[in-house]
Amino acid sequence: MKDLSLHILDIVQNSIRAKATLIGIEIAEHPNENQLIITITDDGTGMSPEQLQRAIDPFYTSRTTRKVGLGLSLFKQNAEMTGGNFKIESELGKGTKVTVTFGLNHFDRPIVGDLVGTLVILICSSGEINYVFKHQTLSGVFELDTREVRQVLENVAISDPGVRLFLKEMLQENLEQIQISE
Amino acid sequence: MNKIKNLADLKKLQSEVQSKIKLREKGDSPEQLVQIKVSMATCGIASGAKETMNFLIEELDHQGIDAVVTQTGCMGYCYAEPTIELTIPGQLPVVYGFVSKHKAQEIIEKHIKLNELVDGIIPVAYSTIDNK
């Protein structure tokens, strides 16, 4: 993965496959503690303790189309390379939570990348799934709950090209406002 | 300083879009539209499926072609990522491999608009007399 936004896109696909209806994506930058924390939560099917133990094994996957499952392992590796850590918690029937800490100023930390593009793809092209996005920096917090967006949109589809463009600009402007590090 | 867009601005957009939808007023159900599924698992994302998907959505919108572009999981063709599955209404789905922006453009121009198959098809739904 070239940047963190692609990692997020990748890990959220796990939640989508676990039939989640509400997915939380939270990014917190703490320059004083030199930490960048990414948290992804979902209310999907969750994993049994055995599955959970094997989840970060690159040669374990619940798919039948291929024999490897690299998403979580790559994320973990990248985080640990920057002096960070990786934590995954899950409970059957409740959902899963992935917390990954990166060293914010570490030389090996991948850039955040095209976060707006990732969010727009997730929000507009994954059907009925709702997202709660939160990005926190020293200059402020930006939050977006797609349930509120849907409420405003009423019967207009969230995948409408006009809505897509609007969300893209809105995210861009708001994230610039809180000066996400790049 | 420009005012930052918020949900109140979205409300304005909503009423605009809604009036447009009423103007079109055609019963387009998803089954009658061109459907494209972009494979978006670790393998696809690492190979640039995100760029391909964004390009497809923007280009189809730009050309005014009504299509549904969605994400799907790994189809097992990790070597050929980014892969897309294209379904023209009333036809069998076709899977394309190595879909770069350039290839995506070719697929739109030839397959979607002219209904001509393009190079790079992965024979998934391939059936012969023997296995029918």
Residue B33 is assigned to a structural domain of this protein: yes
Residue B13 is assigned to a structural domain of this protein: no
Contact list in B for residue A164 (CB cut-off 8 A) is 57
Residue A85 is assigned to a structural domain of this protein: yes
Max distance between CA atoms of chain A, in angstroms, equals: 47
Structure tokens at A46: 């969750």
CATH code for the domain in which residue A115 is found: 3.30.565
Q: Which of B11, B45, B74 sits opposite A6 (nearest CB)?
A: B45
Contact list in B for residue A153 (CB cut-off 8 A) is 10, 14
From the CA of B11, how many Å to the nearest CA of chain A? 6
Quick one: pLDDT at residue A78?
Answer: 92
Please calculate the CA angle A114-A120-A122 and round it to the nearest 5 degrees: 105
CATH code for the domain in which residue B43 is found: 3.40.30.10
Residue B1 is assigned to a structural domain of this protein: no
Residue B87 is assigned to a structural domain of this protein: yes
Which SS3 state, helix, strand or coil, does residue B44 take? helix
Number of domains in chain B: 1
Using omega within 30 degrees of 0 as the cis cutoff, is the peptide bond preceding B82 cis? yes
**CA A12 from centre of chain:** 5
Instruction: Indicate the DSSP class of residue B1.
Output: -
Contact list in A for residue B14 (CB cut-off 8 A) is 152-154, 156
Residue A182 is assigned to a structural domain of this protein: no
Q: Could you report the per-residue pLDDT of A146-181, keeping only the tens digit for each? A: 998 888 888 788 888 888 888 898 898 888 888 766
Structure tokens at B75: 């189809």
Size of interface A-B (CB pairs under 8 A): 95
**Where in the sequence is the domain holding B99, given as residue range(s)?**
28-122
Q: Which of A110, A105, A101, A122 is nearest to A42 (CA)?
A: A122
Q: Could you report the per-residue pLDDT of B3-22, keeping only the tens digit for each? A: 677 777 888 888 777 777 66
**Contact between chains at B42 and A148 (C-beta distance less than 8 A):** no
Q: Could you report the per-residue pLDDT of B77-110, keeping only the tens digit for each? A: 889 999 999 999 888 889 999 999 999 999 999 9
**Where in the sequence is the domain holding A30, given as residue range(s)?**
4-177
**Contact between chains at B7 and A148 (C-beta distance less than 8 A):** yes
Number of domains in chain A: 1
Predicted confidence (pLDDT) at residue A75 exceeds the cutoff of 70: yes
B50 interface with A at CB cutoff 8 Å: yes
Residue B58 is assigned to a structural domain of this protein: yes
Structure tokens at B14: 């909503």
Residue B78 is assigned to a structural domain of this protein: yes
d(CA B38, CA B52) in angstroms, rounded, equals 8
